[in-house]
Structure 1
């Protein structure tokens, strides 16, 4: 590299050196130009770095949006297809979150097909804004996602997003909120004060003030008397300017009005039972007593002439009803989730319920109705038929094999012209559920309810196979899924009437009681005396297996609150009161304390009481979910030869989700 340079040597003689004088002034260096040049360079470096950072952030945000939007699209496609299982498959398995997704305001976002407008990464979490159009207004809200095992899931919340809980004392009480909502405190305080002043100007319940208003970071509700919960505006909706949207103010006003003003609620009850003219409870008397204790709540009892085919209509027309909601009603979001009320109401003794009855009111680990009572059918048998066949009467711990042998022996022993046409009769699905629950039962607990799990297809297939074999044998048991003429006989008066399926079953039951046609049959306890007066009879629980006692199906009765009710807390007070009322029609009270007060178990007729006391510890509720897994449609498909038992067991009832047509698994 040295050869590239041209060296020039200066001779000393040719060079004049300046005089060396200490007094000579030194020349000042001029730094001005260099400083500004350096400042400019630094400025452009900072600006350039900031620009690069912003570009990277925008790029990262775009990447996050590109990751989150497909998941949201997947949810929305499943939602609009009415496929709830697919919809929830990309969400965290959390019962409270599951329930919240069924709320109308949450469904509205999916109906409007929301879009991810912003996304930020925070460790394993993604905080995103979802925007949509509704009622001519741009709305947006926060949504949380989390990477879990390499998979992005929609999750309920983030522990680091909301900040600590803060409280603000106000003229009307106290406002509790998360730190991130602090900017709206004054506005919410003023709105609440103005709403209270307006309501109280025309007469409000002053004794309910002061109150505590809580902006919650979730969708939880409360039954604490002086407290109102409302989800944070960030969960309900913000407007285009990032302020609480109109729907939030509507919800807040509605809650305050429901809290501070008298309530009028409409409550639908089923028609009286056909056999004895009685309902499950004396609702009119209960309402009069309740209103005397709660003068600020008016109960309007509406007794239906007939039960609607679609029970979902009740949830749209009434504040609540004394019916068990169906799975479709729950999946459509028509029913109010009662879990938070039961957990927060100190006057509601949750432990004072029979466990097997309580479980009949649950679905997806949430409570959807207040259990009031349960119907537990039993098996009756004709003593004379056993004596005529020379057989010992069945014991309280008999088996399915013993019952089948008894049926075959009794049928073979009948003389020509005998009234007995069948060995066994069940006009409902009780025997099928009992058989399915008992099939290959391995529960070693003292009560079957402690081993409860959803009804499996193999259990349903076993029950359908048993039914098809029994119904296919001459005189063993009638095939209730067969043609009416084949079942009732030519010329029967019922054939000329326009009867529906339930009417046919009632006529068949009437044939059984007028001139008994079956030696063993299934019926409800309230008919014991009537049956006993006709011909002497015995009572036993449902059969079991060689190792385990039989499992009796338990049909839980209760009452629900409609999601559209503007007075859910008043409805809750009413249903809580009903849970302490003694049912009629020999139904089992939901609360042991009520059963003890009225002497339910003590005053049963001895044969009936022995059978019911032996059966109840092993009774199992026919849950809301199980009612879709074993149906008459499956029975008909098997007995008609259209499907095998295994095929029919896999074919369940269509379930409507979010108000859209469902899909069949």
Structure 2
């Protein structure tokens, strides 16, 4: 038997090896993985992720995973790209589904289908909902795996509806319904100061393009093609959707003026300052735990057809990781996207489990029985469109966000804002056509 003193054992551990107390005394090499992930919703997400990683390592003692919270989505993408360019990429990371074109152009990710070999692997891929897989597929490859996915839904204060004489069980089904309900639930004090706004749709950078995608889809149009090479911002239906958003505060006076913030929207809703908010299903658990009033979750209204937008992050494996790390990362990805883990993740965070099988687990069945609001997201998925995503996505998304802000703050008309943005984006995307 091999005997190791503490100093030698420490040196070996530092070199990435671990000696287990095996009867044969054989050393077991451990593969180390850095796992970057963001937090974009309320709740103790870091503790949940740490728990999953501990469980994975207990089942795979030859793999050591370092879960690294890297900030919000944008921060995490920036850190992952910086690390990759420095030659020290994470093996796996949760990044926005919309980052796919950027990550391909930077040549930093490995196609997932290169790692899908067995029949079990192929069956696992087929278990994901097609709507979510679609955002991970381009150029004939599957580039990532859906994980913390969401759709945007409308949360509404049933008590505010009841107090305004509205049926609290009847949510607005059209744009016109929402405006009418918004006017009914908006309240002011004796001086005319608004105490409670009717509706809030976040227009800050990073969120505006997501919710605008839903407005556009509700109006029967789209912002971008599937290849990420063309945008359609001057389409009259796109301009009309933006004008509707602007009018909520300007003409209808049911929306806070200027830019309504994504980060404070749940707190504004919970405090009764806004009766309806458009937000991610990923905040359902947070709102459910903290609301002091009866609330509803509804699909977005339509004009006339209801539609929403898919969002959230996928799991990517990085190209310059070693073959051993890629194999280990693939194991981790499969573990994190098993039916059972995704069901638990959905219950603990409010994200939408992107596998049909997750919704058949006992965990999810119990959750849905207790929280039927979770079914709204599931039913809305077939009517949801992918989020705005193009080549050089950070640049084009900022241009779109700036244009939306210009219209919402009144510095440009909706038509001019979209026309200016389209010209800028055309220059960026021309080389990719």
> Normalized against structure 2, the TM-score is what?
0.71
- Equivalent positions of 1:22-101 (< 5 A) are none
Change (3 A) 1:425 1:573: same
Superposed CA RMSD in Å reads 3.8
Residues 1:353 and 2:125 are matched in the alignment: no
Residues 1:302 and 2:38 are matched in the alignment: no
Kindly state the Cα deviation for residue 479 of structure 1 after the two structures are TM-superposed.
3.9
Residues 1:423 and 2:198 are matched in the alignment: yes
Residues 1:462 and 2:240 are matched in the alignment: yes
Partner of 2:328: 570
- Equivalent positions of 1:343-422 (< 5 A) are 344-348=117-121, 349-393=124-168, 395=170, 398-411=173-186, 416=190, 420-422=195-197
- Equivalent positions of 1:77-476 (< 5 A) are 263-271=31-39, 275-279=42-46, 282-304=48-70, 309=75, 311-315=77-81, 316=84, 317-324=89-96, 326=99, 327-342=101-116, 344-348=117-121, 349-393=124-168, 395=170, 398-411=173-186, 416=190, 420-427=195-202, 428-429=207-208, 430-440=210-220, 456-457=232-233, 458=235, 459-473=237-251, 475-476=253-254
Kindly state the Cα deviation for residue 623 of structure 1 after the two structures are TM-superposed.
5.6
Distance 1:468 1:576 in 2: 43
Q: Where does structure 1 lack aligned partners over 5 or more consecutive residues? A: 1-202, 204-259, 443-452, 482-486, 488-503
Change (3 A) 1:371 1:426: same
Alignment length (residue pairs) = 365
- Equivalent positions of 1:547-566 (< 5 A) are 548=305, 550-566=306-322
Q: Deviations over 1:341-384 (max 9, x none)?
A: 34x34222221111122223234453221112312232122233
- Secondary structure in structure 2 of the residue aligned to 1:565: coil
Residues 1:619 and 2:384 are matched in the alignment: yes
Partner of 1:525: 284
> Normalized against structure 1, the TM-score is what?
0.48
Distance 1:415 1:572 in 2: 58
Residues 1:543 and 2:315 are matched in the alignment: no
Distance 1:304 1:310 in 2: 5
Kindly state the Cα deviation for residue 310 of structure 1 after the two structures are TM-superposed.
6.8
Partner of 1:90: none
Kindly state the Cα deviation for residue 337 of structure 1 after the two structures are TM-superposed.
1.9
Change (3 A) 1:593 1:664: closer
The answer to whether the 8 Å contact 1:651/1:664 transfers is: no
Partner of 1:506: 263
Partner of 1:149: none
- Secondary structure in structure 2 of the residue aligned to 1:318: coil
Change (3 A) 1:382 1:391: same
- Secondary structure in structure 1 of the residue aligned to 2:296: strand
Higher helix proportion (structure 1 or 2):
2
Distance 2:302 2:357 in 1: 30
Higher relative contact order (CA 8 A, sep 6+): 2
The answer to whether the 8 Å contact 2:197/2:254 transfers is: yes
Kindly state the Cα deviation for residue 649 of structure 1 after the two structures are TM-superposed.
5.2
Distance 1:618 1:638 in 2: 27
Change (3 A) 1:650 1:355: same
Q: Where does structure 2 lack aligned partners over 5 or more consecutive residues? A: 1-16, 18-27, 223-228
Partner of 1:63: none
Partner of 1:632: 401
- Secondary structure in structure 2 of the residue aligned to 1:392: coil
Distance 2:63 2:374 in 1: 39
- Secondary structure in structure 1 of the residue aligned to 2:322: coil
The answer to whether the 8 Å contact 1:324/1:369 transfers is: no
Distance 2:30 2:428 in 1: 35
Q: Deviations over 1:386-439 (max 9, x none)?
A: 33433334646711121122223433x756367634221022435422111121
